[in-house]
Amino acid sequence: MKISETISFLDAWAPPSLAEDYDNVGLLVGKKDNPVSKILVSLDATVGVVQEAIDLGCELIVSHHPILFKGLKKLNSQNYVARTVEKAIQNNIGLFALHTNLDAISTGVNFKMAEKLRLQNLKPLRPVAGKLLQLSFFVPLQDKDKVLTAIHLAGAGNIGNYSQCSFSTEGLGRFLPNENSNPAIGIIGNLEEVNEIKINVILPTHLKNKVLSVLFAAHPYEEVAYFITQLENQWQDAGSGMIGNLPEAIGKEQLIELVKEKFNLKVLRFTDSEKSSIQKIALCGGSGFFLLGDAVAQNADAYITSDIKYHEFFDAEGRLMLMDIGHFESEQFTSELIIEKLSNQFPNIAVLLSKTVTNPVFYA
């Protein structure tokens, strides 16, 4: 199998277009035409992880954090980033990263955290906006079902928990085929009128090319009349952080014990809250202080994230328990998630969990 097949699958799961602008996701090192039989999965790609890949005979490392994040202008072993990249290139090992795109999808980093806490009714804490399109097109009445089925299968028409959503109106379509045309209905040089239906559907931006090619293939006309409009709507299936409910309300002490147990923590930092009963939990893997306002606005009883600074803890103002469980700790199950996904899709490829400890932080 080629690395490109792995990439196509991972890109369909966690679309790169959902990554933040500052991010750097995808194949960072290596050739996509290279063969792959073993994949090593790790939260971070470091020199130690590359060595592990060499020892195990892996041709590809899939990590959450991209080793190439800021500009790298020299490759002279000057720092750990350069040394990691150099070692990967020297040993023909590919480095692939899914970072904020894996944070944004509803089955990504935050889903895995929520699953560990058995949260229910999950939603993005801050749904992404500007990533949806409206597609309107015109089709002869008798071809409506065939075309709708095709574009729904390609991913158009999903709204929250509802699929195959569309809205139609009937009308009269008109066209004049010229001498170079090959009309499915009508005759060259004759103005034609056809009973058509106008269908409107919503679709994620990253599926635009796929849905259009399926539309063109399923539609009977040589030229398909359609409009695409960019929407400002929030997308309920993707965004930053996640919010959901514990199966039942618990006390503050119980929540602390639950989080410590599920995330294997020796220690966590938190603020006290005026609420005594905890059920609605917001969370965000990695550095999530920027979502504190969203957690408060949605009336969360606790917000679990990492990288909170001293003065930022004050901002909770007793409205919820603000918990810092550590960056590595919050994302520790991400490798497990990627392995589950890859192993299911590629049963003939060995997908291995890295045993290298990449967390640079120790607690004493």
Please select the residue that binds Zn ion; options are 157, 286, 288, 326, rule is CB under 5 A.
Answer: 286
Where is 129: in which H helix or E strand?
A: strand 120-129
Give 196 or 329: the residue with its C-beta nearer to Zn ion.
Answer: 329
Give 94 or 286: the residue with its C-beta nearer to Zn ion.
Answer: 286
Q: What is the contact mask toward Zn ion in residues 295 to 334, using x (rule: CB under 5 A)?
A: ------------------------------------x---
Phi and psi at 146, nearest 5°, equal -60, -45
Query: Are the CB atoms for 4 and 33 separated by under 8 Å?
Result: yes
Query: Are the CB atoms for 232 and 130 separated by under 8 Å?
Result: yes
Give 63 or 279: the residue with its C-beta nearer to Zn ion.
Answer: 63
Query: Are the CB atoms for 89 and 97 separated by under 8 Å?
Result: no
Give 41 or 197: the residue with its C-beta nearer to Zn ion.
Answer: 41
Residue 127's DSSP bridge partners are: 239
- Cα torsion 243, 245, 246, 248 to 10°: value is 160
Nearest 5°: the CA angle 245, 292, 65 is 90
Report 330-349 residues binding Zn ion (CB under 5 A). Answer: 331
CB of 237 to Zn ion, least distance (A): 22
Give 42 or 273: the residue with its C-beta nearer to Zn ion.
Answer: 42
CB of 288 to Zn ion, least distance (A): 10
Q: What is the DSSP letter of 140?
A: E
Task: Provide the 10 A C-beta neighbour count for residue 293.
Answer: 11
Total residues binding Zn ion (CB under 5 A): 2
Q: Which region among 155-163, 237-245, 279-287, 296-304 touches Zn ion (by CB under 5 A)? A: 279-287
CB of 204 to Zn ion, least distance (A): 24
Q: Which region among 151-159, 243-251, 261-269, 284-292 touches Zn ion (by CB under 5 A)? A: 284-292
Sorted by sequence, the CB contacts under 8 Å of residue 334 that are 6+ apart come out as 43, 64, 102, 109, 112, 285
CB of 290 to Zn ion, least distance (A): 13
Give 4 or 358: the residue with its C-beta nearer to Zn ion.
Answer: 358
Give the integer Cα–Cα distance in Å for 342 and 102: 14
Give the integer Cα–Cα distance in Å for 152 and 276: 46
Residue 108 makes contact with Zn ion by CB under 5 A:
no
Binding site for Zn ion (CB under 5 A): 286, 331
